[in-house]
Amino acid sequence: MRDELNLTNCSLDPSDEAGLLGLLARLETLEGLEIQGVALEVKLLRGELENCVSIDLSNKRIGVLVVIVIAGLFRSNSVTKSLNLAHNAFGAEGVKRLGAVLGENSVLTSLNIGHTFLGPEAAAHLAQLLTDNSSLLALDLDANDLCGIDCWGQGTYNAEGIATLAGGLKANGTLKSISLQKNHLRAEGARHLSTCVSDGGSLTTLNLCGTSIGAEGAAHLCKALASNTTLRELLLDGNLLAAKGARHVSELLKANGTIATLSLQENGIGAEGARDISDGLKQNAALTSLNLRDNDLCTDGTLLLVEGLKANAGLALLSLMENEIDADGAKRLAEVFGENGTLASLDVGFNDINGDGAKHLVDAIKAREAGGVALATSLNLRENRVDRATKAQLKEQAGSQLKLLL
Strands 32-35 and 4-6: parallel
Q: What's phi and psi for 228, nearest 5 deg?
A: -75, 140
Q: CA angle, corner 84, sides to 80 and 89, nearest 5?
A: 135
**Beta bridge mates, 36:** none
Look at residue 96 and give its three-state secondary structure. helix
Q: Indicate whether 31 pLDDT > 70.
A: no
* Integer Cα distance of 371 and 138 in angstroms: 43
Of the listed ranges 220-224, 248-252, 368-372, the least confidently predicted one is 368-372
| Inside any domain, residue 271 | yes
How does pLDDT run across 128-158, given as a tens digit for each residue? Answer: 999 999 999 999 999 999 999 988 889 999 9
The three-state secondary structure class of 246 is helix
Q: Is there a domain that residue 108 lies in?
A: no
With respect to residue 4, please indicate whether it lies within any of the assigned structural domains. Answer: no
Encoded amino acid at 384, one letter: N
Q: Could you tell me which residues are beta bridge partners of residue 289?
A: 261, 317
Residue 9 has pLDDT above 50, yes or no: no
pLDDT digits (tens, 9 = 90+) for 158-184: 999 999 999 999 999 999 999 999 999
Q: For 103-107, which contacts have Cβ atoms below 8 Å and span 24 or more sequence positions?
A: 103/128, 103/129, 103/131, 103/132, 103/133, 104/132, 104/133, 105/74, 105/77, 105/133, 105/135, 106/134, 106/135, 107/77, 107/78, 107/79, 107/80, 107/81, 107/135
Is 188 inside a domain boundary? Answer: yes
> β-strand 289-291 against 32-35: which pairing, if any?
unpaired
Q: Is the pLDDT at 65 greater than 80, yes or no?
A: no
Work out whether the CA dihedral 337, 339, 340, 341 comes out positive or negative: positive
Predicted local confidence at residue 6, as pLDDT: 44
Higher pLDDT: 239 or 41? It is 239
Give 64's pLDDT tier (boundaries 50, 70, 90): confident
Give mean pLDDT, residues 353-374: 91
- Listed residue (68, 107, 100) closest to 85, CA to CA: 68
pLDDT at 143: 96
- pLDDT at 25 > cutoff 80: no
| CATH, residue 365 | 3.80.10.10
Q: Give the span between the Cα atoms of 316 and 323, in whole angstroms.
A: 19
Residue-number span of the structural domain to which 221 is assigned: 113-405
Q: How many Cβ atoms are within 10 Å of 87's Cβ, its own excluded?
A: 18
The count of structural domains within the chain is 1
Asked, for residue 26, whether it belongs to a domain, the answer is no
Residue 96 domain flag: no
C-beta of residue 31 within 8 angstroms of C-beta of residue 3: yes
Q: Cα–Cα distance between 161 and 179 in angstroms, integer?
A: 16
Check: CB of residue 193 under 8 Å from CB of residue 167.
Answer: no
Please state, as a whole number, how many other Cβ atoms lie within 10 Å of the Cβ of residue 246: 26
Residue 223 lies in a domain: yes
Give me the pLDDT at residue 27, please. Answer: 52
3-state class (DSSP) for residue 400: coil
So what's the pLDDT on residue 356?
Answer: 97
pLDDT band of residue 7 (cuts 50, 70, 90) is: very low
Does residue 23 belong to any structural domain of this protein? no
Q: Which of 50, 19, 9, 45 is nearest to 30 (CA)?
A: 45
What confidence score (pLDDT) does residue 13 get?
A: 53
pTM here is: 0.91
Q: Which residues contact 370 (CB under 8 A, 6 or more apart)?
A: none
Residue 265 to residues 56, 136, 292, Cα–Cα distance (Å): 29, 29, 5
Angle, nearest 10°, between helix axes 214-225 and 242-255?
0
Looking at per-residue pLDDT, the higher value among 51 and 78 belongs to: 78
